[in-house]
Amino acid sequence: MANSRSARKRIRSNERKRVRNRIVRSAVRTRIGRVRRSLVSGQVAGIEEELRAAVKALDKAAEKGILHRNNAARRKSRIMAMAAKLTLMGGSEAEKAVTRAAAAGGAKGRSAKVAPSAAAKATAAAKGAGAKKVSTTKAAASTAKAPAAKPGTAAKPGTAAKPAGAAKRAGSTRRTSADQ
């Protein structure tokens, strides 16, 4: 709970701003959703008014500080690029359908993963096999290399090679609760 009058006032003003921001953000999402749906469905009539309304909503949100100006600019750019791509496209109905499906993306406008083609799968499999060969040869090379002793020196009887970092751990100066 707030301890001062100014903190209580800040809580009240933050709540007012949160409600306002939520309303504006929702309006922006609604406008962009309408544009996207009309573009994907192929309705060209009235798309310019919807685009203008969406851009206006984004600009207002950025001006009020509800959205960052770069965020608003990115969204405007994406929606305009989508509009240009879908309204100016030509070709057969099959090509138009493919373009609309790609522009629609996944659920709520998120991009969907596209199944890779057979050629892409074959190249990925070839790359994967090559990567496995490289990794096994690296592992074999690293195990084959052992530190060689200097000529003329012999290891002391009863001593074995310590793993890397063992000497560092053995000389650790870390304090425990018993040391304190």
| pLDDT tens per residue across span 26-51 | 999 999 999 999 888 877 788 889 99
| Amino acid of residue 159 | T
How far apart are the C-alpha atoms of 110 and 8, rounded to whole Å?
A: 40
The pLDDT of residue 86: 81
Query: What pLDDT is stored for residue 134 in this prediction?
Result: 47
Name the residue ranges covered by the structural domains of the chain. Answer: 5-109
Weakly modelled stretches of the chain, pLDDT under 50: 106, 109, 114-116, 131-137, 139-140, 142
Helix (H) or strand (E) holding 72: helix 69-87
Domain 5-109 sits in CATH at 1.20.58.110
Burial of 125 (0-12, 13-18, 19+ CB in 10 A): exposed
Q: What is the pLDDT of residue 151?
A: 62
Alpha-carbon gap, residue 62 to 85, rounded angstroms: 25
pTM comes to 0.51
Q: What is the pLDDT of residue 95?
A: 72
Q: How far is CA 116 from CA 119, 122, 124, 125, in A?
A: 8, 10, 10, 12
DSSP string, 73-103: HHHHHHHHHHHHHHHS--S-HHHHHHHHHHH
pLDDT of residue 73: 97
Query: And the tokens for 50?
Result: 């919807």
